[in-house]
Amino acid sequence: MINQKNVLVVDDDPVFKLIARKLFERSGDLFNVVFAENGLDAIELLKNIINTNEAEIPDIILLDIEMPIMNGWGFMEEFIKLPEEKTKNITVYTVSSSIAQEDKNKTASYSQIKAYITKPLTLDIIKDIAEAS
């Protein structure tokens, strides 16, 4: 049995979510994917998982930067407040259509973020994430 990776995709764009779902499905049974609409939904979901079912704690988070209600940076500010022993094995990737250098620089300021991925998401990127995580 292949050890599935839990993935949390945090993005408000329905087209991106559809593409991400299809790409993860095409990569086989390697991933269990859950979606959140914005940073606030994602933090609440993560807190609930930590408190109720640690087996479902994400291995990987794909985090959009620009979202309504709570953006990716707001999510990260809340994420770093979570118990480190529960989040230390989560690999966060920011995924954005922004090519702004300040976003890339801000990504680098968080030790929890492994890389900045510029949209669109591709099957090769998914494979690279799987191998790196």
pLDDT band at 1 (very low <50, low <70, confident <90, very high): very low
Q: Which two tokens stand for residue 54?
A: 């640690």
- Are the C-beta atoms of residues 63 and 75 closer than 8 Å to each other? yes
- Return all residues near 13 (Cβ < 8 A) that are at least 6 apart: 64
Residue pLDDT, tens place only, 18-51: 999 999 988 877 889 999 999 999 999 999 999 9
Residue pLDDT, tens place only, 44-97: 999 999 999 888 999 999 999 999 999 999 999 999 999 999 999 999 999 998
Fold of 5-132: Rossmann fold (3.40.50)
